Structure 1
């Protein structure tokens, strides 16, 4: 019999209300759990002793909280919601849009689903099986499909409308898992498309060209940071463990100060948005009460390790000590540690552990292979081997070598400084502008930009549009459009 169970609770899109998290943590504390972790797919993880598990299961079922034990049959939906507004403000994608997408998921996905803003680099784009990426066209998304156990990614031929993401994802999942249609680049992509669209109608537009992704740059996501008139707080733990006592105080303070959401990041950290200036002292008190440090070095924050194991975390800390001693430059890079063959981590530099000698399930001696992605872009699916069969003692120096290779290459490609390494762009409220908005799908007509889909050039006033003008997204008539005032958010 197992002494301990690993319990997983999905937090869709990495969003959880303080009240819901408080309920889960209270039940966990009653089962003698003292700390929890957050996974790379923005889920909540905890280890529970088998004698206490049956009581915790009963409590979770009473509160209708879904969970899994020692399995990951239903991967969490992950998203870039955690970085929205604090690191950047999208052209059209706002926090409310993520909630709209989630509202249309009426099932538990068995495939990994990613929801990403195309203008950010804080969360991964292609680690899912179904990767939805916001397009330049408002309320429409690219879809990149990666079959299970495959490194092949292909683009869906259509842009998918926000309200149809959940329905289309379900149809793709049924075709790939139940009908066993697994595209491999040899024509099955068309078979999958036909199976998903046959007898079903979706709001789509043709996908023209590939998605344009930004150059990777990991923002510093820890500590107190201002945005507009408020602050956000990033919380990282070196051992990835968050004490339940601390998190319960965080939940209580969120509820007391009217903060409605806590965000989990793919870096196994937390972000709390919307902290008012008058409440900063209360947050500092909670951090001090639990002795929480919130200013770690940036090169320590740029790591991804596997869930359910401490092995990768220990190796990360071993290498970071070398970085600190030798003042290694890691700006522009992120690192992944893979200690299990079939696990997946996100990184521009990947460390793969493998047994040199193995007897059954027992690995007697481990060595490390070192890889880097195409152009050092962590979203690339192409890996190049740098060194193989390294002993642990030699690994940090070889990673330092690879970091120097990256820096030298970057200087050759761009000798002029592209941007500051320390200054983070801060979203600020700009001018208020009047536009006309469709009440059905919320598509906006702005005189400054016109409507390319309807071949209406920039500068044409809404009142001068022909009477038969209709919404380019849902075909609502011009007469239904409403005049609204929107605040323009700009990155200064």
Structure 2
């Protein structure tokens, strides 16, 4: 019998309530688990020991998950998590009509466990991937109707379903396509469509225009960030692990301050939305208690490594160190490390490990996607058979090619770029007394200041909404030097 087993718990859409997560973590703690991870498909991952001296072990852990109606897999990935762009909703630029309720209506409609990878995406965001699933639903410009792009398993061939799918039909369509694709041999796109429609009518619309996706630009997803009258907090961990004790504290604070959900991201981080300004100090103390840093450089956040890949993490860290030493610019790019032949990673630059000499040695092949857009998934070879020591140098050359070809998002580059945060492109002023931020993108609803008003244009009588200090108390700041 193995000493450890890998438990995978799907958090549908990357959403989990603090109460549910608390139940999972408390059961895991009794089973001897001390750290957990979040996967690239927004799922919860942990290794559980077969038997523990004082803990309950695997059997008791399974029992507690069953009692709480929590679905899980052990040492298997036959039922992949449904991922979504809900984690970006409200906090990053997204479309006009998709709301929290629409996402949840879709998730609630799944009364079966999918065996195909399903992605639910807002078409206007670039935080979560569009085409890493087998069934990729992307919002159209018509309210409550979605494009569907189908990708066969272990393939990069994608075809667009010839109709737009109605929101509440998504679970039903997914189940039909799954029945067709998993029970039949090779098929072309027309056969798939005809067999799905033959199973019954689907509420749909004719496609009237092609899908236009935004230019990829990864938003800075860490730290405290104001939006409207509230704050969201992004938490990234360099080793991609979170201690049970820390997460239990997060759940406790969420429950005490009436935050109803926690979001996981494809970048293996957490986002907590809806933090009231009056509760900000509680979160500051929580991060301080566990020594959690929330100001990592952007060139460390734009990476995706396979789940539980220490080799991939080690390579990532060594490359980032050299990037820092050489002051390499990576704005607009995202990188992926693939050390397992059949794994799927998301990036505009992909570093693939390849074994040579009957597996005695290995080298790395470096690819980039067409136009450096990670959502195209079509790879172009840049350099092959690269020794590990030379990978950072090759990536620097590739980054220079990216900028030389003018692929960088011109809209994003108009803003003053700072390698640590997109927020630096916006005029920020901070109160020296209580550290409150005035961000012209949001204005100040407490004082009746609408969004878009520059700090310089505020009346002389303006005062801090938190401590009522005078306007002269505010000083201009950059995002990476904010006092938090």
TM-score band by shorter chain is: 0.7 to 0.9
Moved more, 421-430 or 164-173: 421-430
Asked if 1:102 corresponds to 2:107, the answer is: yes
TM-score by length of 1: 0.83
Asked if 1:174 corresponds to 2:183, the answer is: no
How many pairs does the alignment contain? 422
Taking the TM superposition and a 5 Å limit, the aligned residue runs for 1:444-483 are none
Aligned twin of 1:21: 21
Instruction: Tell me the distance in 2 between the aligned counterparts of 1:346 and 1:230.
Output: 31
Task: Report SS of the residue matched to 1:128.
Answer: coil
Moved more, 198-207 or 277-286: 198-207
Following TM superposition, by how much is the alpha carbon of 1:429 offset from its aligned partner in structure 2, in angstroms? 9.5
Aligned twin of 1:269: 269
Distance 1:140 1:54, change over 3 A: same
Aligned twin of 1:259: 259
Task: Report SS of the residue matched to 1:318.
Answer: helix
Asked if 1:367 corresponds to 2:372, the answer is: no
Aligned twin of 1:470: none
Which among 125, 128, 137 is matched to residue 123 of structure 1?
128
Following TM superposition, by how much is the alpha carbon of 1:91 offset from its aligned partner in structure 2, in angstroms? 1.1
Task: Report SS of the residue matched to 1:379.
Answer: helix
Distance 1:415 1:302, change over 3 A: closer
Task: Report SS of the residue matched to 1:304.
Answer: strand
Asked if 1:155 corresponds to 2:151, the answer is: no
Aligned twin of 1:395: 391
Contact 1:181 1:191 in 2 (8 A): no
Contact 2:332 2:408 in 1 (8 A): no
Distance 1:182 1:85, change over 3 A: farther
Instruction: Tell me the distance in 1 between the aligned counterparts of 2:238 and 2:182.
Output: 38
Instruction: Tell me the distance in 2 between the aligned counterparts of 1:114 and 1:411.
Output: 26
Distance 1:412 1:305, change over 3 A: closer
Asked if 1:53 corresponds to 2:49, the answer is: no
Task: Report SS of the residue matched to 2:357.
Answer: strand
Instruction: Tell me the distance in 2 between the aligned counterparts of 1:129 and 1:419.
Output: 36
Following TM superposition, by how much is the alpha carbon of 1:208 offset from its aligned partner in structure 2, in angstroms? 2.8
Task: Write the deviation string for residues 313-353 of structure 1: whole angstroms up to 9, x where unpaired.
Answer: 11111100001110000000000000001000000000001
**Pairwise CA RMSD:** 1.9
Task: Report SS of the residue matched to 1:7.
Answer: strand
Distance 1:416 1:324, change over 3 A: closer
Asked if 1:247 corresponds to 2:252, the answer is: no
Task: Report SS of the residue matched to 1:410.
Answer: coil
Instruction: Tell me the distance in 2 between the aligned counterparts of 1:172 and 1:413.
Output: 36
Which among 126, 144, 148 is matched to residue 149 of structure 2?
144
Distance 1:202 1:149, change over 3 A: same
Following TM superposition, by how much is the alpha carbon of 1:415 offset from its aligned partner in structure 2, in angstroms? 11
Distance 1:125 1:415, change over 3 A: closer
Task: Report SS of the residue matched to 2:278.
Answer: helix
Contact 1:105 1:166 in 2 (8 A): yes
Moved more, 241-250 or 407-416: 407-416
Contact 2:94 2:123 in 1 (8 A): no
Aligned twin of 2:6: 6
Contact 1:181 1:192 in 2 (8 A): no
Superposition misfits of 4+ residues, deviation over 2 angstroms: 411-431
